[in-house]
Structure 1
Amino acid sequence: MKRYGSVIRVKPDKLEEYKQLHASTWPEVLRMIAACNIRNYSIYYKDGLLFSYYEYVGENYEQDMAKMAADPMTQEWWAVCKPCQEPLESRQDGEWWASMEEVFHFG
């Protein structure tokens, strides 16, 4: 199992819309997240930033992420969520959410 953290800005005028979207996340999207071996997925908010945490329990992360990206319902979901978000300038090429370095874990 590997832990992942990432961060992105949420547009101030879109915060409530983003919260509402995630209060009623589409079941097909949740099923795809589970099918791609993601567990304990959480998104937190603070001071204009969204922090995402999840645990990956699969064997081939790149393959599972490609499977998710190819899913039509997931693509629709992302299209609805993306207007609420503003990526960090410091993100890596190809990233929307900026990957974070884990500097401490206890457990």
Structure 2
Amino acid sequence: MKRVCFLLKVRQERLAEYRERHAAVWPEMQAALTATGWHNYSLFLRDDGLLVGYLETEDFERARAAMDRTEVNARWQKEMAGCFEELDGAAPDAAMVPLSEVFHLA
């Protein structure tokens, strides 16, 4: 299993909405994430909007592509896109650029 971490930036004026939406992620969205290989997935949000995502998966690009083919992900991404800064027209999940892991304590 590979560990993947990424950063995004949530708009300051949408922080409350972002938190509310993620307190009640649609069951079909959660099921799709699991079915497409996203495991131990967490999001951490700082008060200035910095969002840190972490997940474990066998193949991140394959898991992301599988989610991209789901109808529920298309709906979720469309609804969430306005919450983020600096996407340059990309969907939020397409803007997830994995960080390089430099240390891991097993």
Give the TM-score normalised by structure 2. Answer: 0.85
Partner of 1:48: 49
In structure 1, stretches of 5+ residues that fail to align are: none
Contact 2:4–2:60 (CA<8 Å) still a contact in 1? no
Cα distance per residue 1:44-85 (max 9 Å; x no partner): 0123200000000x4x54333222101111110011111101
Q: Distance in 2 between matches of 1:87 and 1:98?
A: 13
In structure 2, stretches of 5+ residues that fail to align are: none
- How far apart are residue 101 of structure 1 and its match? 1.2
Partner of 2:33: 33
Structure with greater strand percent: 1
Cα distance per residue 1:8-60 (max 9 Å; x no partner): 1110000000001100001111001100111110000123200000000x4x5
Partner of 1:69: 68
Give the TM-score normalised by structure 1. Answer: 0.84
Q: Report the secondary structure of 1:86's partner residue.
A: coil
| Same amino acid, percent of matched pairs | 33
Contact 2:4–2:99 (CA<8 Å) still a contact in 1? yes
- What is the root-mean-square deviation in Å for CA atoms of aligned residues? 2.0
